[in-house]
Structure 1
Amino acid sequence: MIEKRTVCRIVEEWLEGKDYFLVEVSVSSEDKITVEIDHAEGVWIEDCVDLSRYIESKLDREEADYELEVGSAGIGQPFKVLQQYHIHVGHEVEVLTKDGNKLIGVLKQVTKDHFVIGIQRKVKIEGSKRPKLQEEDETFTYSEIKYTKYLISFK
């Protein structure tokens, strides 16, 4: 059986000096290896092919037969690593809190402990007949949420 840490080490070697980062590696009990990478400007298929060939060159099929899948972190999928938050600062995201609230806003700030999104809310302003949209910042720790994901917009 191929070990996850072996695949992670191989991927980290390939990533060295590149702007890509590792999102996830999984190895099933049937030796199906799945590697997800990401990049601030998107992932190129040629780089996935290059990484796949690099991994294959470092593993011995005589020792263990395996299936290998290399791809990008799926667009619209929940973020899995902190770097995904960083590359989406300034973009609209969807956050689902553990208590079931779904919020949409612009990702404004990211630290290792928390992140901030700006949410448009209707607020009744004194002297005004109608509520007006006003941006309010909401801060979340990563333990307070079920997921955060990039919101795809076709405006």
Structure 2
Amino acid sequence: MKSVDDIRQVIEQLLEQELKLHPDCFLVDLLVSQDQAVRVFIDSDQGVSIDQLAQINRSLSKAMHENHVFPDDDFSLEVSSPGIDTPLKLYRQYPKNIGRTVVVTLKDQQIREGVLQEVHPDFIVLDVKKSKKEHQVLKIPFVDIQFTRVQIRF
């Protein structure tokens, strides 16, 4: 019997092939449970569409069956976007959120809230409101970030 890690590795390889057909899409997370439930989280540089997710789901499901990823070919597959309330995990998720308010939790547990102004390979730049008229620009290295959440405004 294949281990969960072996199964995950095979699925990642199959996904890599499928994502070549969707160059603006990328894998954010892949979860495989002991009960053969597979959850794939895909994002896109422009925002992933339902049509893209459906196509990836169909193609991945077919490839998993053809490659007998699970011994009995009995599995559940869910392909979705990470969701707006899910923390940003990858550098590639940051640029599309420029101009949005984010809450950054640092590894030392400090919290910074501000408008994401810039994204660089090693750091982000936040415009933090100190008072009604005063703003502070913070440069936060990625190595100091535990996680970042986009604030939802209605």
TM-score (norm 2): 0.82
Please give the secondary structure, in 1, of the residue aligned with 2:146.
strand
Deviation, structure 1 residue 146: 2.2
- The percent identity for this pair of structures is 29
Q: 1:31 aligns with which of 11, 36, 61?
A: 36
Name which one, 1 or 2, has greater alpha-carbon Rg: 1
In structure 2, runs of 5+ residues without a counterpart are: none
Alignment partner, residue 51 of structure 1? 56
Paired position in structure 2 for 1:3: 7
Alpha-carbon separation, structure 1, partners of 2:117 and 2:16: 29
Matched length: 145
Deviation at 1:46, TM superposition (A): 2.3
- Deviation sequence 1:32-78 (CA, Å, 0-9, x none): 21110112443222222211110111112573422211100111210
- Residue 111 of structure 2 aligns with an amino acid whose one-letter code is K
Shift of 1:100: 2.7
Secondary structure of 1:90's counterpart equals: coil
Which segments of structure 1 move beyond 6 Å, counting only runs of 4 or more? none
Alignment gaps of 5+ in structure 1 = 123-131
For the pair 1:69 / 2:91, whether they are aligned, the reply is: no
Out of 92, 97, 100, the residue aligned to residue 106 of structure 2 is: 97
Amino acid across the alignment from 1:20: C
Cα drift, residue 148 of structure 1? 0.5
CA deviation after TM superposition for structure 1 residue 17, in Å: 4.3
Q: In the TM superposition, what is the alpha-carbon distance from 1:133 to its structure 2 partner?
A: 2.2
Question: 1:81-96 alignment to 2 at 5 Å?
Answer: 81-96=90-105
Q: Give the secondary-structure state (helix, strand or coil) at the position aligned to 1:11.
A: helix
After superposing the two structures, state which structure 1 stretch, 101-110 or 56-65, moved more.
56-65
Hey, what's the Cα distance between the residues in 2 that align with 1:66 and 1:142?
37
SS in 2 for 1:42: coil
Distance in structure 2 (CA, Å) of the matches to 1:75 and 1:24: 14
TM-score, structure 1 length as denominator?
0.82
Q: Indicate the structure with greater helix content.
A: 2
- 2:36 alignment partner AA: D
Matched, 1:113 2:129: no
